[in-house]
Structure 1
Amino acid sequence: MQPLPSADRIAAVSAALAAFIAEGALQPGDRLPTERELMARLAVGRSTVREVIRQFQARGLVETRKGSGTYLLRAITPGAIHVSLTIDAGLLRDRLLQTLEIRRGLEVAASEAAARRATPADLVVLEEKLVAMERVHLDQGTAGPEDLQFHLAIYDATHNPLFRQLLEQFRETFEHFFEKPFDRPDFARRSFALHRELFDAIRAGDPEAARLKTLGILAIVEEDIQAMSPTTGSPQ
């Protein structure tokens, strides 16, 4: 493996690591190079290496064992590693609505699955994330990353790893909806109360109610996108 240019290092490290695994014919159970080795060989920082390993873990490709290292879980080919989709907040409003269509399909399905499968332990985590979101919302008027963490906990409560793996392909795109999106800290603020109602539906094991609450949240998101300028993607 050779040192990488500075541009788009996460994508480049992902591709380089996949190529290394394929060319070295590593098999499930084999240990990957350490963080320090990857940093030295690819001339990148620790945060870049850790983000790539996190993405590989989310896709079910590797696992990290504390005090032991990172191990391959299944065979990887360079063509199997996809670069995460991204979106610029300054693009046309229509692009945001296209992204919302994908988010709606995933989140509705995830909410229904979580309502059917969430364990008591899942519900504890979900409520912790919800309370954190509510606390930040009441203090700052927006939930930001705490909102994202709540939705990620719903994905985990499905016990279907494909939800997380799909999310990794859209993560950067979706994050624009959570961290003061489009210079509007009040973006989709009206959906705040529905998040607790969504949690209640999941806790009650009611997939239909969970579906409707998720659709309600995303309908508000869509209304706020529609209120933006179609040419700049910013509020009118």
Structure 2
Amino acid sequence: MSPQTTSERPAIEPLPPIDRARQVTEALASYIDRASLQAGDRLPAERELMAALNVGRSTIREAIRQFQALGVIESRKGSGTYLLKPVTTATVHMPLSFDAAHLRDVLLQTLEVRRGLECEANMVAARRRTADDLVVIEAKLNEMERVHIAKGTSGPEDLAFHLAIYDATHNPLFKQLLEQMRGAFERFWEEPFDRSDFARRSFPFHRTLFNAIAAGDPETARIETLKILAVVEEDIKEMSK
């Protein structure tokens, strides 16, 4: 066989352009780590980032948008950009997304996944919770009950109670996944459903869930979690008739 001529060989592909936005996100993650920034801390201003990284405004804003989509930072009009959760260059991001065109189906599908994750998280919390964890969880529950009795609803307080339980698992993935899922899930109660009383009937089961976790009883924690989510499912079906 005769050797290939130059014209017969495959062309050498050009190198892809450098992804400047990706480089900026990595540089920001490195800065956040080295500066030991915590949730609530303010990031440097756009101008400062542009000068330090020698990139244009559009590249900085693209990197900021990527972090916003991951729920890592938020921009507050007239105030600046703030860190929602600490990150490093080793952080693995797993954003969640879905198409809300068929809202009822999406919510029920999301609930199926939540049911598995939330039952497991609450069972793990019942096994691993410390005395300090229980103090925090009960304080969040007491506040939730106070607000619920006063106003008939307790959205943010309910979330704070569940997040404290996820912390008690001592597995950060439970909190990160369920916090993203609950946030996407619960924004629909305000629009289009306009239901501030959504899942109100699940209120008593939060105390029994806490009691199960405090007793170190994973199976009862699973049962009480299923009671809460059964009410959520019933309300989704009722609202979307």
TM over 0.5: yes
1:8-19 mapped onto 2 (5 Å cutoff)? 16=21, 19=23
Kindly indicate whether residue 212 of structure 2 is the aligned counterpart of residue 201 of structure 1. Answer: yes
Question: In the alignment, what sits opposite 1:54?
Answer: 84
Kindly indicate whether residue 63 of structure 2 is the aligned counterpart of residue 75 of structure 1. Answer: no
Q: Are the equivalent residues in 1 in contact too, given 2:118–2:178 (CA < 8 A)?
A: no
Q: Which moved more, 1:110-119 or 1:96-105?
A: 96-105
- The higher relative CO (CA closer than 8 Å, separation ≥ 6) is in 1
Question: In the alignment, what sits opposite 1:141?
Answer: 152
> Tell me, what secondary structure is at the counterpart of 2:81?
helix
Letter in 2 for 1:75: A
Letter in 2 for 1:85: S
Instruction: Sort the Cα spacing of 1:228 and 1:178 in 2 relative to 1 into closer, same or farther, 3 A.
Output: closer
**Coordinate RMSD, CA, aligned:** 3.3
Q: Are the equivalent residues in 1 in contact too, given 2:141–2:206 (CA < 8 A)?
A: yes
Instruction: Sort the Cα spacing of 1:186 and 1:28 in 2 relative to 1 into closer, same or farther, 3 A.
Output: closer
Kindly indicate whether residue 177 of structure 2 is the aligned counterpart of residue 173 of structure 1. Answer: no
Superposed CA deviations along residues 27-84 of structure 1, whole A, max 9, x for unmatched, are 996448994524434468456631xx324x2xxxx3xxxxxxxxx3x436xxx54444
Q: What's the offset of the Cα at 1:204?
A: 0.3
Q: What's the offset of the Cα at 1:91?
A: 4.5
Aligned partners of 1:24 and 1:104: how far apart in 2?
A: 35
Letter in 2 for 1:19: Q
Aligned partners of 1:153 and 1:177: how far apart in 2?
A: 23
Aligned partners of 1:36 and 1:106: how far apart in 2?
A: 33
Count of residues in correspondence between the two structures: 194
1:83-94 mapped onto 2 (5 Å cutoff)? 83-85=95-97, 91-94=102-105
Letter in 1 for 2:153: T
Q: Are the equivalent residues in 2 in contact too, given 1:148–1:178 (CA < 8 A)?
A: no
Q: In structure 1, list runs of 5 or more residues that go unmatched.
A: 1-14, 63-71, 230-235
Superposed CA deviations along residues 167-217 of structure 1, whole A, max 9, x for unmatched, are 354353133377698211221111100000000000000000000000000
Instruction: Sort the Cα spacing of 1:25 and 1:171 in 2 relative to 1 into closer, same or farther, 3 A.
Output: closer
Question: In the alignment, what sits opposite 2:172?
Answer: 161
Aligned partners of 2:157 and 2:191: how far apart in 1?
A: 12
Instruction: Sort the Cα spacing of 1:190 and 1:228 in 2 relative to 1 into closer, same or farther, 3 A.
Output: same
Aligned partners of 2:103 and 2:182: how far apart in 1?
A: 19
After TM superposition, the score normalised by the length of structure 1 is: 0.69
Q: Are the equivalent residues in 1 in contact too, given 2:137–2:165 (CA < 8 A)?
A: yes
Question: In the alignment, what sits opposite 2:44?
Answer: 37
Aligned partners of 1:150 and 1:115: how far apart in 2?
A: 14
Of 202, 215, 239, the match for 1:191: 202
Q: Are the equivalent residues in 2 in contact too, given 1:110–1:158 (CA < 8 A)?
A: yes
Question: In the alignment, what sits opposite 1:226?
Answer: 237
Question: In the alignment, what sits opposite 1:4?
Answer: none
Q: What's the offset of the Cα at 1:133?
A: 0.5
Aligned partners of 2:98 and 2:80: how far apart in 1?
A: 17
Question: In the alignment, what sits opposite 2:70?
Answer: none
Kindly indicate whether residue 145 of structure 2 is the aligned counterpart of residue 99 of structure 1. Answer: no
After TM superposition, the score normalised by the length of structure 2 is: 0.68
Aligned partners of 1:119 and 1:157: how far apart in 2?
A: 7
Q: What's the offset of the Cα at 1:122?
A: 0.4
Question: In the alignment, what sits opposite 1:20?
Answer: 24
Instruction: Specify the structure having the higher radius of gyration (Cα).
Output: 2
> Tell me, what secondary structure is at the counterpart of 2:90?
coil
Instruction: Sort the Cα spacing of 1:32 and 1:226 in 2 relative to 1 into closer, same or farther, 3 A.
Output: same
Q: In structure 2, list runs of 5 or more residues that go unmatched.
A: 1-19, 50-59, 65-74
Aligned partners of 1:48 and 1:148: how far apart in 2?
A: 26
